[in-house]
Amino acid sequence: MTAATRKLLVCGAVAGPLFVVTFLIQGATRTAYNPLRHPVSSLALGGFGWIQTANFIVAGLLTLAFAVGLRSAPRPLGGATLVPVLIGAISLGLLGAGLFVTDPVSGYPPGTPDAILRHSTHGILHDLFSMPTFLAWPIACIVSAIHFLRKGKSGWAIYSAATGLIFAGAFVLASMGFTQVEALVDLGGLFQRIAITAGFAWITLLAVHLLTTSPKTPA
């Protein structure tokens, strides 16, 4: 593995922890914000919203760098596979979510209605760009599980498949909460955080796995 590829994989190892820690700190310190109820994207609203906007963009750029590095990394996931393309789609979704701010939902910021009554242009674009992220992530995990299984790496195959299922299930529950399903509305933010944290943990551990198991290319 070349030094350039290793640097790109390091970006993948860093992206998740940086993104998750940043939104956790914001959620714990933002006035009137309830991490269990409100989506991560809502942190981009209000006076300190630029922090979450920057968080989306930095995470998107780091994840995109990882996708490029993964394309050049040794197999089973490197080379001409679908996984780097799917992770690239995740990164584009993060970048779009940062460039276009979401609409208020679930009563945040204070004074706004629980349900979105009228979608703004930037809110629609935010949702459209976010869609590839939430669709590509579980698919990338399942495709990776198949590649690992073919290579005899049963542990990584099980972990990747489990991550994909957890992500997909938590995302569905979060979406139901944000659409004001009564039993889930107060837990929408929690389920979204479970999905995002599980997905980024998988990317981080995958990057570390490739960095620690692939030999360096001699200069």
pLDDT tens-place string over residues 155-184:
999 999 999 999 999 999 999 999 999 999
Domain boundaries, the chain: 3-213
All residues at 6 or more sequence positions from 74 whose CB lies less than 8 Å from its CB, including other chains: 1, 210, 214
pLDDT at 73: 78
- Specify the pTM: 0.92
Beta-bridged to residue 105, according to DSSP, are 108
Contacts of 118 (CB under 8 A, 6+ apart): none
Q: Is the Cβ–Cβ distance between 109 and 46 less than 8 Å? A: yes
Mean pLDDT of 117-138: 89
For 21, 24, 34, 52, 204, the CA distances from 197, given in Å and listed in that order, are 10, 10, 17, 16, 10
pLDDT over 90 at 151, yes or no: no
Give dist(CA 188, CA 174) in Å, integer. Answer: 4
C-beta separation of 189 from 39 below 8 A: yes
pLDDT digits (tens, 9 = 90+) for 78-121: 555 789 999 999 999 999 999 999 999 999 999 888 887 678 99
CA angle 21, 31, 172 (to 5 degrees): 55
Judge whether residue 219 has pLDDT over 50.
no
Instruction: Answer whether 103's CB lies under 8 Å from 116's CB.
Output: yes
Is residue 56 scored above 80 in pLDDT? yes
- Please write the tens of the pLDDT for every residue from 183-204: 999 999 999 999 999 999 999 9
